[in-house]
Amino acid sequence: MTGQAFFVLTALADGPRHGYGIVREVVELSQGRVKLKIGSLYGVLDRLSADGLIEPDHEEAHDGRLRRYYRLTAGGRRALAEEADLRAASAHVVRARLGLTGPEAAGAAG
Amino acid sequence: MNGDPDLEQRYRRVLRLLPRYYRDQWEEDMVAAFLDGWLTGDPDEDSVTMEYDRPTREEIVSVIGLAARLRLGGTGAPRRYFAWGQAVRNAVLGVMLAHAVWGLGELALFARSRHLIGWLPPPVGGFWPELSYAIGYAWIVVFVALLLMDYRTARVLAVLVVGADVASVLHQQLAGTLASPLANWGYVAVIDLAPMLAMAAFHRDAPPVRRLPWLLALPAWYLLVSLPVLWAELSGHDAWVPDVAGRCCILLAVVCLFHAVKVWSGRPGTGVWSLTLLLLAAVTGLYRLISLPTFAQDPHLLMVGLAELLILAIAVATVVPDAVRSQTAATVPLGYQELR
**Cα(A4)–Cα(B218) distance, integer angstroms:** 38
From B273's Cα to the closest Cα of chain A, the distance in A is: 27
Indicate the DSSP class of residue B124.
Answer: P
**Cα(B254)–Cα(B277) distance, integer angstroms:** 11
Q: Which strands sit side by side in the sheet containing A65-72, from one edge to the other?
A: A17-18, A65-72, A54-62
Q: How far apart, in Å, do the first and last CA atoms of chain A sit? A: 15
Contact A37 B39 (CB under 8 A): no
Indicate the DSSP class of residue B227.
Answer: H
Cα–Cα distances in Å, from A14 out to A8, A9, B143, B215, B254? 12, 10, 45, 49, 61
Q: Is the CB of residue B288 less than 8 Å from the CB of residue B308?
A: yes
A20, A37, A42 ranked by CB distance to B58: nearest: A37
From A43's Cα to the closest Cα of chain B, the distance in A is: 6
Q: Is the CB of residue A23 less than 8 Å from the CB of residue B33?
A: yes
Contact A65 B35 (CB under 8 A): yes
Domain ranges across chain A = 3-103
Which pLDDT tens digit goes with each residue over B314-328?
999 999 988 887 777
Chain B CA closest to residue A22 = B33
Query: How would DSSP label each residue in B170-204?
Result: HHHHHHT--S-HHHHHHHIIIIIIHHHHHGGG-ST
- Specify the 3-state DSSP secondary structure of B6: coil
Q: Please list every residue in chain A whose beta carbon sits closer than 8 Å to the beta carbon of residue B66.
A: 39-40, 42-43
Q: What average pLDDT does the segment B9-16 reach?
A: 94
Contact A39 B66 (CB under 8 A): yes
Contact B30 A50 (CB under 8 A): no
Residue B93: how many other CB atoms lie within 10 Å? 21
| pLDDT computed for residue B84 by the predictor | 92
Q: Please list every residue in chain B whose beta carbon sits closer than 8 Å to the beta carbon of residue A56.
A: 339
| pLDDT computed for residue B91 by the predictor | 96
| pLDDT computed for residue B226 by the predictor | 86
| pLDDT computed for residue A110 by the predictor | 44
What is chain A's mean pLDDT, rounded? 87
Q: Would you call B52 exposed, middle or buried from its count of C-beta atoms within 10 A (0-12, 13-18, 19+)?
A: exposed
Q: Please list every residue in chain A whose beta carbon sits closer than 8 Å to the beta carbon of residue B69.
A: 43
Statement: residue A64 has pLDDT above 50: yes
Contact A19 B29 (CB under 8 A): yes
Position B333 confidence tier, pLDDT thresholds 50, 70, 90: very low
Residue type, B95: V
Q: What average pLDDT does the segment A20-35 reach?
A: 92
Q: How far apart, in Å, do the first and last CA atoms of chain B sit? A: 35
Q: Please list every residue in chain B whose beta carbon sits closer than 8 Å to the beta carbon of residue A61.
A: none
Statement: residue B129 has pLDDT above 80: no
Position A103 confidence tier, pLDDT thresholds 50, 70, 90: low
Give the β-pairing of A54-62 and A65-72: antiparallel
Which pLDDT tens digit goes with each residue over B210-232?
999 999 999 999 999 888 888 88
Complex prediction ipTM: 0.81
Q: Which helix (H) or strand (E) holds A59?
A: strand A54-62
Residue B331: how many other CB atoms lie within 10 Å? 12
Residues 67-106 in A contacting B (C-alpha not used; CB under 8 Å): 67-68
Percentage of chain B lying above the pLDDT 70 cut: 91
- Helical pair A38-50 and A3-11, crossing angle rounded to 10 deg: 80
CB burial string A50-73: b at 16+ within 10 A, e below: bbebbbbbeeeeeeeeebbbbbbb
Chain A CA closest to residue B332 = A50
CATH code for the structural domain at A3-103:
1.10.10.10
| pLDDT computed for residue B38 by the predictor | 87
| pLDDT computed for residue B324 by the predictor | 85
Position B334 confidence tier, pLDDT thresholds 50, 70, 90: very low
Q: Would you call B248 exposed, middle or buried from its count of C-beta atoms within 10 A (0-12, 13-18, 19+)?
A: buried
Percentage of chain A lying above the pLDDT 70 cut: 91
Cα–Cα distances in Å, from B6 out to B44, B52, B219, B278? 15, 7, 57, 41
What is chain B's mean pLDDT, rounded? 86
The values of phi and psi at residue B34, to 5°, are: -65, -50
**Cα(B273)–Cα(B267) distance, integer angstroms:** 13
| pLDDT computed for residue B105 by the predictor | 84
| pLDDT computed for residue B43 by the predictor | 83
Half-sphere exposure of B323 (CA within 13 A, CB side): 21
**CB of A18 less than 8 A from some CB of B:** yes
Position B115 confidence tier, pLDDT thresholds 50, 70, 90: low
| pLDDT computed for residue B46 by the predictor | 83
